[in-house]
Amino acid sequence: MNIRKIISTGLFALVLIAPLAQAEIYELRTYTAHDGKLDDLLARFENHTTDIFERHGMRNIAYWVPQDYPQSENTLIYIIAHQDRETATANWEAFRNDPVWLQAREESRRNGALVEGVVSIFMEATAWSSML
């Protein structure tokens, strides 16, 4: 492998992992939707929430829906990144008071609340994590 290829490959890898390395903490969140409301919750995230997160310093990492019943019927799992815990608190405060979020939440709840419960776990990547 010539030096140019090694450098370009290394730079490409750095571009891929640099955004992951910037965040010091990750937040794993699990939402349980009310019966029949998962599709509405997913639409709210896709159409509104993820963009508002980014505006308030929360980086979207990944979103999942479980494959197995019964969680496949009512569960959204995702990871977002924050600079640190103090910043996470400020990010969430700004998000909760964002007028665009308040309007999107209100509109999505016209036929009833979407979320029954939320579990949040803050995490830090291990040194051997494949993300780093």
Q: Which structural domain, as residue segments, surrounds residue 89?
A: 23-123
Q: Would you say residue 112 has pLDDT above 70? A: yes
Residue 76 covered by a domain: yes
Residue 110 CA to chain centroid, in angstroms? 24
CATH number of the domain residue 65 falls in = 3.30.70.100
E strand or H helix at 123: strand 115-123
Q: Residue 70, preceding bond cis, omega within 30 degrees?
A: yes
Residue 118 covered by a domain: yes
Residue 129: the pLDDT is 84
Residue 61 covered by a domain: yes
Residue 52 covered by a domain: yes
- Check if the beta carbon of residue 88 is closer than 8 Å to that of residue 27: yes
Number of domains in the chain: 1
Give the span between the Cα atoms of 99 and 74, in whole angstroms.
27
Establish how many alpha carbons lie within 13 A of residue 61's alpha carbon, considering only the half-sphere containing its beta carbon: 18
Residue 81 covered by a domain: yes
Strands of 25-33's sheet in order across: 59-64, 75-82, 25-33, 115-123
Residue 102 covered by a domain: yes
pLDDT, tens digit, for every residue of 15-73? 444 454 554 899 999 999 999 999 999 999 999 999 999 999 999 999 999 999 999 99
Q: Would you say residue 10 has pLDDT above 90? A: no
